Structure 1
């Protein structure tokens, strides 16, 4: 369950690629299968899985939460978001994550393992900077395009990101509430924004301008572009991410910016 889209969704990890090609001189048995459907529903036969791994998928919600009318100035949870908006996001995460656990509990054998990694936060505040700032800066970019007359204000006010970045206690609470898995390890780790999308490949454009926002803007574009195109149209995207890149470069030159990963290792109860 590695994050990805398109026809090669089930084949997009390096481990899977190496397994299919053969490592160490002999080709191991490796079976790849594309399974239609959402991971917020049943995907596999009952008691057919011994190990499940999900990477950077479960912070995405099955849908945009309802009743976000009071969050018009934002596209996600932000420092200015009212409690009702934060609660709407949290409730949707609870429903989705509980559904995921319940579905996987029917598919994983007793004693089977599951490891999940998702973007999250260390803070107990759902509007903390460590989980929301990256989206606040994208919202600033969109507001700049509104001021330029490129995007209609009503369009911006109706756009919301279907994501929730949980705390360690959020994850722990839902796992214990669902009850099918026992937690072996639960931890948070940090990765700098500057590391996002850094493949080590030389880019003349990046080298000449020397701005740290280049990789981050490219990384975030790969994540958010489908949502943005669907709502605002394709014509505004290049301009939007150029503005976003400049804002990111400015903030990253002045601030310590990091993503937080939450990783949980679990065992299916017998």
Structure 2
């Protein structure tokens, strides 16, 4: 957060794809600490903080809201002021809806954040009928399947940028972290969904799930390259890229029948290659 663009009076931010788990308010806590620290450095009063937490209508917002009081108390302790009011006047509001549509008033936000949400598409791409035996892109997917996924990403991300540009103030900042891939080619080394597909196909062969249902199932997601993200940002034109970085994160596996099978395949696969979960973080500023 820059001191030259530090808002006075009120700071309004939105977290898109907030979910409802233990990490939902993590970003808010980091912003509170950053705002409090910078306000002291500048010798000015902390601005009030308005936080919009966005996710799809099916998100468990009630669980989020019941955690807010405990969150505020923990923030007091963390800031070293357990017996006082929070260092910031903070208002937290849930905003259900798709971030591929308009969500907020024009020129109303100073900061937008989204982490591990923008790889999900607004819908399953059309034209995936020939992607049988796969649930995402693989080396065996027909060229038309790649084209359909790529086109859906371009449509969705362009809409996302357009709507966020209408909602951010001029000079407002947006930071996005997206599951991504390193190169322009879709490497199965960087994608765990091939193994998930293999596990599901095993279960279909054993009659545990219906093969026709599996053949018609495709995940509504797309992991873009850095060049694809940069190209769409420049094409849409409302934002300037200040920073773009690819980085790796360790893998994590959960329990379930399909995940047990997935884990066996994964352990064998990891013995042969050096997999990496690639992520892309991009910092954007709304142009004047």
TM-score interval for Structure 1 and Structure 2 normalised by the shorter chain: 0.7 to 0.9
Structure 1 stretches of at least 4 aligned residues deviating more than 6 Å after TM superposition: none
Partner SS state of residue 33, structure 1: strand
Q: Structure 1 residue 3: deviation in Å?
A: 4.0
Q: Distance in 2 between matches of 1:102 and 1:71?
A: 31
In structure 2, relative to structure 1, the CA distance for the partners of 1:65 and 1:121 (3 Å cut) is same
Pairwise CA distance, 1:166: 0.4
Alpha-carbon distance in 2 for matches of 1:137, 1:4: 28
1:58 Cα offset (Å): 0.5
Match for residue 115 of structure 1? 175
Question: What are the superposed Cα offsets for residues 227-268 of structure 1, whole Å, 9 maximum, x if unpaired?
Answer: xxxxxxxxxxx3222211221122223321101111111110
Of residues 159, 162, 166 in structure 1, which corresponds to 2:220? Answer: 162
Choose the corresponding residue for 2:80, options 24, 37, 45.
24
Contact 2:127 2:145 in 1 (8 A): yes
Aligned partner of 1:243 in structure 2 is 261
Number of residue pairs matched? 226
Greater strand share, 1 or 2?
Answer: 2
SS in structure 1 opposite 2:280?
A: strand
Match of residue 178, structure 1, among 229, 236, 257: 236
Q: Which runs of 5+ in 2 are unaligned?
A: 1-14, 33-71
Structure 1 residue 189, shift from structure 2 partner: 0.9
Q: Report the equivalent of 2:188.
A: 129
Partner of 2:41: none
Give the equivalent residue in structure 1 for 2:67.
none
Length-normalised TM-score, structure 2: 0.74
**Paired position in structure 1 for 2:279:** 261
Comparing both structures, which one devotes a greater share of its residues to helix? 1
Residue 13 of structure 1: how far off its partner (Å): 2.7
Structure of greater Rg: 2
**How large is the Cα RMSD of the aligned pairs?**
1.9
3-state SS in 2 of match to 1:184 = strand
- Please show how residues 3-82 of structure 1 align to structure 2 within 5 Å: 3-5=17-19, 8=20, 12-16=24-28, 19=32, 20=72, 21-22=75-76, 23-25=79-81, 27=86, 28-82=88-142
Distance 1:171 1:248 in 2: 29
Q: Deviations over 1:148-198 (max 9, x none)?
A: 1111110110110111000011001100111110111112111232xx3xx
Answer 1 or 2: higher relative contact order, Cα 8 Å, separation at least 6: 1
Question: What aligned pairs does 1:68-107 form with structure 2 within 5 A after superposition?
Answer: 68-107=128-167
Farther off after superposition, 20-29 or 115-124? 20-29
Give how far 1:17 is off: 5.4
SS where residue 204 of structure 2 aligns?
helix
Contact 2:242 2:285 in 1 (8 A): yes
State how far apart, in whole Å, the 1-side matches of 2:250 and 2:136 are: 21
SS in 2 for 1:84: helix
The TM-score normalised by the length of structure 1 is 0.79
Q: State how far apart, in whole Å, the 1-side matches of 2:108 and 2:142 are.
A: 44
